[in-house]
Structure 1
Amino acid sequence: MSEQMTLTDWRGNPYTVGTTVLYPRMSGRSCEICEGVVVDIWEAVYDRKLYKWVRANPDKLAHQAVTGRDREMRVKIQPNGRGSRDFYRSDSRAARDENGDYVYDDDGHMVFEKVDLKPVTLTIIENVTVLTS
């Protein structure tokens, strides 16, 4: 297993796996600030043979040579559901019955059910802010 990485936020505070941070989230032209816990930090490289981004492997010569725009840091964050606004929440979805049809309540409103929040991977990490007490 590789050594755990530590990065620094824009205010100079270090963060690593397990640190609670604030990060921006956008939907269209609307922006909100979300809170979550860092679950992974890694360096990614664009592999031109595979035509996709992959986790950098320091033992692979081809990955060692990658520079510039083809190399970037990535941070995976597990959201905790707290945010500055409550729009387009990713912790609920429209409920469906056993036939796959949407479920409505007695007033004709669509019923929503809670689901687990999915982790998000940030490729733009300049705005991550460590939550300090």
Structure 2
Amino acid sequence: MTWHVRILGLAACVAFGKFAQAGAICEYKIHQAKSGLEAYENKPNPNQKKLQEARAELESLLKHCDDEEILGEVRANIAATKSRLDQANVALAQVKEMNGGMNDRAALQQALLAQKIAQAQYIAARQEELRLKDLLKPLPKP
């Protein structure tokens, strides 16, 4: 057995050990990353840079995944998207009040679109949090 085969075997054992100890959220994220990487590898002529990024993401998850850290990142994303939604709501209200009620249609449409995008991003962030929290719930007994 050559040295690089032994090193790869050891790395796989360490990675599997980390995976086996990972929480439910990490297991979910690792499974998602593996599935995405496999799908991307099976594409004809995949972009090598993106392929390396996907491999690096999976490796990072295998080495350093922590359920609480992921939930913290999700909560930070929720706060950021909520802030953007609040800003979009203020901007929309300002456009509606502009010129004594005589609104610029283009500005109004742009503000409405920005508000709808911000709202969709906020909802998606909240749904991600709920999805991950569901993974932490114990399975019901049959």
Q: TM-score, normalised to structure 1's length?
A: 0.26
Tell me which structure has the larger Cα radius of gyration. 2
Q: TM-score, normalised by structure 2?
A: 0.25
Higher helix proportion (structure 1 or 2): 2
